[in-house]
Amino acid sequence: MQNPFKALGDINNLRKQAKQMQQDLAAEEIKIERGDIVVIISGDQKIKHFSVQGITSDDAVAALNEAIKKSQEIAAKKLQTMMGGAGGLGNMLGQ
């Protein structure tokens, strides 16, 4: 007979690892410069800076971040469907 509490411990460890990975990704920054366009994005896919010809726009950054978030939500739903609608790893990890 398996110990049901061991599975809970395993899930808890996965949650901790996922949370640490998210924090590590958020701390990473990628800077791309193409001509007079500059984009700085974090490893967790949040736009930190966006400028064209040295001009920045908080609205442009907000719109880009909203688009990224929506694309992530669509991808998560498709993944959840592929996994049989069981909630997937995201639900186990409390996301």
Using one digit for the tens of pLDDT, what is the confidence trace for 21-74? Answer: 989 999 999 999 999 999 999 999 999 999 999 999 999 999 999 999 999 999
Instruction: Collapse the DSSP code of 83 into the 3-class scheme (helix H, G, I; strand E, B; otherwise coil) and give the result.
Output: coil
Find out whether 47 and 39 touch, Cβ atoms under 8 Å: yes
CA dihedral 68, 72, 75, 79 (to 10 degrees): 170
Q: For residue 57, what is the DSSP state?
A: -
First-last CA distance in the chain: 31
Q: Give the predicted TM-score (pTM) of the model.
A: 0.66
| 91 pLDDT more than 70 | no
Evaluate if residue 16 carries a pLDDT over 80: yes
CB neighbourhood size of 80 (10 A):
16
Centroid of chain to Cα 54? 28
Q: Is 56 helix (H, G, I), strand (E, B) or coil?
A: strand
Q: What is the pLDDT of residue 2?
A: 66
